[in-house]
Structure 1
Amino acid sequence: MNNKVYDISGKKKIWFIISLALIAAIAVITVIKGVEIAIEFKGGTIISYSYEGDASIKDAQSEIEDLLKTPVVIQEGENLSNDSNSFSISFSYDTGLSVEDQTALTELLQEKFPDNKVELLDSNDVNPTSGKEFFLKCAIASILAAALIIIYIALRFKKISGWSAGVCAVIGLLHNLIFVFGTFVIMGYEINANFMAVILTILGYSVNDTIVIYDRIRENKNNMPKASVAELVNVSTSQSLRRSIRTSVTTISTMLIVSIVASIYHVSSILSFSIPMIVGMIAGTYASLCIASPLWVWWNERKSKSNKKKKK
């Protein structure tokens, strides 16, 4: 057990200012850069091609965009059926891709890469309905999870003002999700199924850390009946510090190794999960230690001052 007590709640204004400044920066960057939304959420067309040998397909991106008159996303991979290489071009197209445009695109690629035997594999129009339904279900699941977290903490931690503790825990979770969203925007990743997977994973990790600290607060309230709310939070957070950091470092190290391997092999679909996970884990640990609990202290101090004024 860590015997040293850190004055975490006493520096709550600093923690809040840091978080608010970073959230404001994310908001500004989002307005400037915009948000990349995956084709399954907004609809469009995906065309797949096979090719032989080595070719930097993304070198043709500007020419493809000039031809189609719309931004495109190019993803490279392998065609496992015949051991050749493959790539897909996805883009939003309100009216769908005409046969003439598809033929022109294929001819452009064959002219651009004459030695690579570029051949059309498949062309599909993507309906956004299923993607929107998936997004809606994930959003509903997140809202229900937040409501259940508040109820669970309120019932389990009645002795330490459970309702306020639950609300502060959910605010901490929202804080983490903003940072995950910011990572997707800053890195230029699309808001897709990976985004929802990271969100739901971070929800589980972060609330676990916060509940451990609340559990410590409840135990220490029995052991330190005369201690103030701030003292209880400082002691409890200090006792949970090593555990929280060790848990986060283990997961972050794993995601870091995954990110390095994915970078070497240029697997962007894995990077768009592992890098936001790293940021989410760091933000989650920070929020559990420096946001949720200090916010709960601020809440209770305000409530105490309000009650004193009413009695006068």
Structure 2
Amino acid sequence: MENHNILEQEEEQDLFEHFNIVVDKGQSLLRIDKFLMLRLVNASRNRIQNAIDAGNVLVNKNTVKSSYKVKPADEISIVFAHPPRDTEVYPENIPLDIVYEDEDLLVVNKPAGMVVHPGFNNYTGTLVNALAYHFEQLPTLPGNDGRPGLVHRIDKDTSGLLLISKNEITMTKLAKQFFDHSITRKYVALAWGDVQQDGRIEGYIGRSLKNRIIMDMYDDEEKGKWSVTNYSVLEKLGYVTLISCQLETGRTHQIRAHMKHIGHPLFSDANYGGDKILKGTTFTKYKQFVANCFTIMPRQALHAQTLGFIHPTTQRYLEFEAPLPEDFSNVLAKWRNYAQNAE
């Protein structure tokens, strides 16, 4: 009988997702639907609205409407039904830009806009769906179901190089190199402002308490994971700076959060405030110039350019470089032209 109860609990946990939130003392009055959008990762407006309509959102143990305004110390309980999703990855005939391939691994140049692996709201059209089509069998690591071949990832709107394993031994050895931070990973980024000199950013990185979609920096190790980015100035272009970033750790949104932390958000990075004019003049002509740049590159100016590692079989060090994609190189050319004419 005891085993039967455990099974029932496990089945319920698979079907439902439960959250409890105690509203901060300093919270200003805010509609509950907007409050939950900020606090819950991967919860769409529709999903929140459906939960409220179904009576699955309780405040101080009472059902509420979307218009209810949360107050300090409110206790909110939310129950979501898990969206139906297969753990199986479906193969899709999506072209891959393969930079290097042998019998053990491959290096892929991922375009901006492509999600790396299936997840909430993105079950098709991902890099993993493409890999499943092009390769019959790819390994997975324990606890990494649905992500065959992947030993690391980059954000949807970041372009550049990814390392894919084709067998379990290779995957285990590559994962160890990532764990040991011995992999060479260099990114090129365009940051707002005049970055004065080369530097190093370090600290604990974790989910923002105000907006769960983004990451923040903390002094307390209990609030995040240790992270280190070394950056160097490549080219000063007046109101923006082209930089190179070398990762010592690989945390979610690391470069994006780190650069915002030091006052230089990445150009056109909507989540971290870089999609507004942060530096420059008030002239209409300049505003139109920046707006044109945002149109050309409606995503963060970040490209995983260099990837180096020791090949698990040959023990040789391999390093690959991917040229800037068209949107990045076009925006860079516009800023170079602007900087030259401004002198």
TM-score category of the 2 structures, normalised to the smaller one: under 0.3
- Greater radius of gyration (CA): 1
Q: Which structure dedicates a bigger proportion of its chain to helix? A: 1
Q: Which structure dedicates a bigger proportion of its chain to strand? A: 2
**TM-score, normalised by the number of residues in structure 2:** 0.21
**TM-score, normalised by the number of residues in structure 1:** 0.22
